């Protein structure tokens, strides 16, 4: 049984012509010569690598729609709701706003959080850049950890390198950190992820030493999602600029 839906997906705006498809490949059971197309395979022959991207690129987020045979709705979690700890066992005092959800992470240098939540990592994509301000503000006032994904400096048009070949100035990274800090009040943190290229360019040294970031995450590969690891640019000049950065 194939739990995925190969060859057509709303995320890339593709669809099969035929009602029935071969489950393993997703090809129509009657794939006809002269089909006007719609499926991944058809689009890939014309548009090639564009099928890597959820569409319309830069304006959407996309969720994985693999059909798992078990999901959370099949489980009943029987919560234990009797008694009170850390607060008087008095119905007027043990009320739900009195619950303490604070926690911390880190061994030597602890980071306090109001609620144990880390956001998903939003990195170099356009959708992250366009929505960063309200995303960062929400994380900061909630006292949670905001995860800034990889390759933010690498894609920054205003990126400047020092004479040592390492990052000297990245307006986009500085803006992201500044917007989180605007409403930061001691809980949570901005965590900066970096991939192999980020590490090579000195993102760690830049954000820790120059921008005062306290938490970083080193990544060894792009494995979180089936469509990650690629970004799309809108001009040849931009592609050449990024290519030169390696």
Catalog residues that contact ligand SF4 under the rule CB under 6 A: 16-18, 27-28, 31-32, 35, 37-39, 41-42
Residue 159 neighbours by CB under 8 Å, 6+ apart = 153, 167, 169, 170, 172, 245
Nearer to ligand SF4, 18 or 137 (CB): 18
Least Å from the CB of residue 37 to ligand SF4? 5
Q: Which residues pair with 194 in a beta bridge?
A: 218
Which CB, 31 or 51, lies closer to ligand SF4?
A: 31
**Minimum CB distance to ligand SF4, residue 78 (Å):** 47
Q: For residues 167 and 202, is the Cβ–Cβ distance under 8 A?
A: yes
Mention every residue, 6+ apart, whose C-beta is less than 8 A from residue 59.
126, 127
Pairing, β 145-148 against β 189-194: parallel
Give the separation between CA 190 and CA 193, rounded to whole angstroms: 10
Smallest gap, in angstroms, from Cβ of residue 53 to ligand SF4?
19
31/208 with CB nearer ligand SF4: 31
Instruction: Supply the minimum distance, in Å, between the C-beta of residue 45 and ligand SF4.
Output: 9
Closest CB 32 distance from ligand SF4, rounded Å: 5
Cis-peptide into 56, omega within 30 deg: yes
The nearer residue to ligand SF4, 3 or 32, going by C-beta atoms, is 32
Identify which of residues 39 and 145 has a Cβ nearer to ligand SF4 in the complex: 39
């Amino acid at each position: 049984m194939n739990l995925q839906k190969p060859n057509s997906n709303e995320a890339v705006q593709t669809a099969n012509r035929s009602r029935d498809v071969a489950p393993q490949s997703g090809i129509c059971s009657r794939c006809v010569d002269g089909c006007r197309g719609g499926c991944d395979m058809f689009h890939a022959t014309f548009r090639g690598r564009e099928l890597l991207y959820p569409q319309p690129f830069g304006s959407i987020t996309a969720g994985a729609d693999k059909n798992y045979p078990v999901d959370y709705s099949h489980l009943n979690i029987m919560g234990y709701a009797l008694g009170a700890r850390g607060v008087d066992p008095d119905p007027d005092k043990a009320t739900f706003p009195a619950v303490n959800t604070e926690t911390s992470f880190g061994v030597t240098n602890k980071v306090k959080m109001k609620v144990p939540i880390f956001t998903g990592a939003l990195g170099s994509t356009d959708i992250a850049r366009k929505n960063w301000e309200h995303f960062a503000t929400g994380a900061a006032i909630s006292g949670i950890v905001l995860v800034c994904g990889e390759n933010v400096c690498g894609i920054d048009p205003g990126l400047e390198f020092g004479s040592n070949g390492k990052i000297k100035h990245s307006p986009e990274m500085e803006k992201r950190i500044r917007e989180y800090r605007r409403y930061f009040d001691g809980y949570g943190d901005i965590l900066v992820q970096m991939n192999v290229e980020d590490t090579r360019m000195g993102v760690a040294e830049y954000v820790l030493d120059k921008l005062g970031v306290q938490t970083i995450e080193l990544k060894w590969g792009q494995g979180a999602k089936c469509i990650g690891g690629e970004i799309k640019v809108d001009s040849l000049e931009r592609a050449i600029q990024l290519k030169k950065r390696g």
